[in-house]
């Protein structure tokens, strides 16, 4: 069933195109960031993380960019596929093992 | 390797009853976190347990409580259930120690609690 927010900002992307999902974080002292993917009825799935001493990190088809100056994080998904449809949200931590989560963005992949 | 497991997957209770939710962390993980995800809202932090101790608590009333057992599994108890407690309750675990690998937080699939 639908267990994730109904009124989230939505990004609609054509299959095969690249997706960019943005996140503004709140704490300038945060030094660790994670991106999660949550499909309907499932728990959040770890995608990729980045520490504040980096400004870019790449994974398989995903890239995370960190701009500490404006406290902004983005997740880029290359060649978006139908299976990428989900809610994506970021989390930040300031080294105290306390995590703050964003509200999320719904990604819809159009065939 | 098994991930974080939660039980039950669904739980239906009536107002005023008590609910118990269970979580088994990834093997080797000693920290367990509980979050509430209500419809239309993001993850709200409930509780953090590490090495059997409560390390931090979110802004929830005392009727939300929990514990961590010697094997690092955890229980979340919600007493005197209210309709607004209906939500997906997520458990996450993290490895012990310092360093990059110990900061990654891994989630279970959650328990969907419905209060009627």
**Yes or no, beta carbons of B105 and A34 under 8 Å apart:** yes
User: Which residues in chain A touch residue B103, judged by CB atoms under 8 angstroms apart?
Assistant: 32, 49, 93, 97
**Considering only residues 2 to 61 of chain A, which have any Cβ-Cβ distance to chain B shorter than 8 Å?**
2-7, 32, 34, 36, 41-46, 49, 51
The answer to which of A7-11, A31-35, B63-67, B94-98 has the lowest mean pLDDT is: B94-98
Average of pLDDT values for B9-17?
98
Tens digits of per-residue pLDDT, B64-102?
A: 999 999 999 999 999 999 999 999 999 999 987 666 567
User: Which residues in chain B touch residue A7, judged by CB atoms under 8 angstroms apart?
Assistant: 40
In chain B, what percentage of residues exceed pLDDT 90?
Answer: 83
More confident residue, B99 or B105: B105
Q: What is chain A's mean pLDDT, rounded?
A: 90
What are the angstrom distances between the C-alpha of A14 and each of A7, A47, A87, B36, B57?
A: 21, 21, 16, 32, 42
Tens digits of per-residue pLDDT, A66-103?
A: 999 999 999 999 999 999 999 999 999 887 778 889 88
Distance CA A16, CA A89 (A): 21
State the DSSP code for A59.
-
Test mutation, A3, A7, A64, chain B, max B CBs within 10 A: A3
Name the residue in chain A with its Cα closest to that of B57. Answer: A98
Tens digits of per-residue pLDDT, B45-54?
A: 999 999 999 9
**Per-residue pLDDT band at A2 (split at 50, 70, 90):** very low
**Residue A70: strand pairing partners:** none
Q: Are A51 and A30 in contact (CB under 8 A)?
A: no
Q: Is B48 on the interface with A (CB under 8 A)?
A: yes
Number of A:B CB contacts under 8 A? 64
Instruction: Among B33, B104, B108, select the one facing A46 at the smallest CB separation.
Output: B104
**Yes or no, beta carbons of B42 and A2 under 8 Å apart:** no
CA of A1 vs chain B CAs: smallest distance (Å): 10
Three-state secondary structure call for residue A38: strand
**Per-residue pLDDT band at B103 (split at 50, 70, 90):** confident
Please classify residue B5 by burial: count the beta carbons closer than 10 Å to its beta carbon, then call 0-12 exposed, 13-18 middle and 19+ buried: middle
State the DSSP code for A40.
T
Average of pLDDT values for A19-27?
93
pLDDT value at position B98?
Answer: 62
pLDDT value at position A8?
Answer: 80
pLDDT value at position B100?
Answer: 59
Instruction: Among B35, B42, B104, select the one facing A104 at the smallest CB separation.
Output: B42
**Per-residue pLDDT band at B62 (split at 50, 70, 90):** very high
In chain A, what percentage of residues exceed pLDDT 90?
Answer: 74
Half-sphere exposure of A85 (CA within 13 A, CB side): 11
Instruction: Kindly write down the DSSP assignment for every residue of chain B, as one continuous string.
Output: ----EEE-SEEEE-TT--EEEEEEPPTTEEEEEEEEE-TTS-EEEEEEEETTEEEEE-S--TTEEEEE-TTS-EEEEE-S--GGG-EEEEEEEEESSSSGGGT--EE---EEEEE-
More confident residue, A95 or B29: B29
More confident residue, B48 or B39: B48
Name the residue in chain A with its Cα closest to that of B5. Answer: A43
Please classify residue B39 by burial: count the beta carbons closer than 10 Å to its beta carbon, then call 0-12 exposed, 13-18 middle and 19+ buried: middle
């Amino acid at each position: 069933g639908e267990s994730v927010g109904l009124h989230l900002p939505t990004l609609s992307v054509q299959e095969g195109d690249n997706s960019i999902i943005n996140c503004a974080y709140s704490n300038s002292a945060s030094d660790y960031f994670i991106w999660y993917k949550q499909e309907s009825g499932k728990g959040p799935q770890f995608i990729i993380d980045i520490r504040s001493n980096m400004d870019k990190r790449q994974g398989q088809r995903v890239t995370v960019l960190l701009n500490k100056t404006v406290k902004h994080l983005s997740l880029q998904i290359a060649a978006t596929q139908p299976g990428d449809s989900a809610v994506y949200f970021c989390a930040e931590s300031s080294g105290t093992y306390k995590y703050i989560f964003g509200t999320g963005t719904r990604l819809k992949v159009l065939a | 390797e098994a991930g974080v497991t939660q039980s039950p997957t669904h739980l239906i209770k009536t107002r005023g009853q008590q609910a118990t939710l269970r979580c088994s962390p990834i093997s080797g993980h000693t920290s367990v976190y509980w979050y509430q995800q209500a419809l239309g809202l993001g993850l709200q932090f409930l509780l953090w347990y590490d090495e059997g101790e409560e390390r931090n608590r979110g802004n929830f009333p005392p009727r939300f409580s929990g514990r961590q057992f010697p094997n690092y599994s955890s229980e979340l108890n919600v007493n005197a259930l209210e309709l607004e407690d209906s939500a997906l309750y997520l458990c996450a675990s993290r490895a012990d120690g310092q360093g990059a690998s110990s900061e990654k937080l891994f989630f279970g699939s959650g328990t969907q609690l419905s209060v009627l």
